[in-house]
Structure 1
């Protein structure tokens, strides 16, 4: 299982985009709520639901010895490998001996001449290009709008009707990492 080390890239959504979607006249009034709570919360929801990195970040994962060359990285939308090293002894593997193949949903790490022995520590960057997946951006904006309008976790006195799951799920289908066993 990969662990996020830190977010590294530009914001996925700009306050102006969110304000336009919400039809806010004065976005500065809710700036902290949007930038510090709702936008990161919805990005986290999307990352959890899809298994893909939505906001650019650096990740680290450990590969046991039985993961062969060509095994997929845990987080979808991986863009480049920062480093590969052996856990025992900390030997850094030469970057000329491995490469990353990016697929639509997941990326796989290959090694020239076979995978090095031992447990490997792999650091990599991942993050989605929302221009390539506009439905994901729409899903994020819809999620922010929902949380903005309904900030409580309990709804009292009114019926709640969610959009059909098939509609919402198809918006993320292109980047959802397939289940692994």
Structure 2
């Protein structure tokens, strides 16, 4: 797994005299509690690899948090020749806050992600992930246990969730592109 945080973001944090503890920048669950999902949309799915990819964001009641359900059928087993990448952008500051990249076989070693998948999906935590239909249901996005920077500017965010099949060291096929809209109130 690779997590990177924008150089611009850290420059702003230093400029505002915010001290960052680099070793403890991850696993801040109280920040993720302040993130609210607003919408989700499948932008593209490659019919060579995926079919029936859909997403629905909804609330059970007016005061409840938004939940997301998404479904897809993967047509080939996903091993370490596949990659999932999440990019988070802040609209107000026009900067990338973070980028997370992982391969399916690395999920077994990422406790926060494997726990979330076990709680909300029928995706097996094995390598490779076999071809089949999978569902994520009633999930709050982002996951409450996702590693976040300790300092997150308030505002609206776009989260691009992209999947790739790595063909060789320089070429890749796009599996899917999904868009999530989030808001964050206070750090």
TM-score, normalised via structure 1 length: 0.29
Higher strand fraction (1 or 2): 2
Structure with more relative contact order (C-alpha pairs < 8 Å, separation 6 or more): 2
Higher helix fraction (1 or 2): 1
Compare CA radii of gyration and give the structure with the larger one.
1
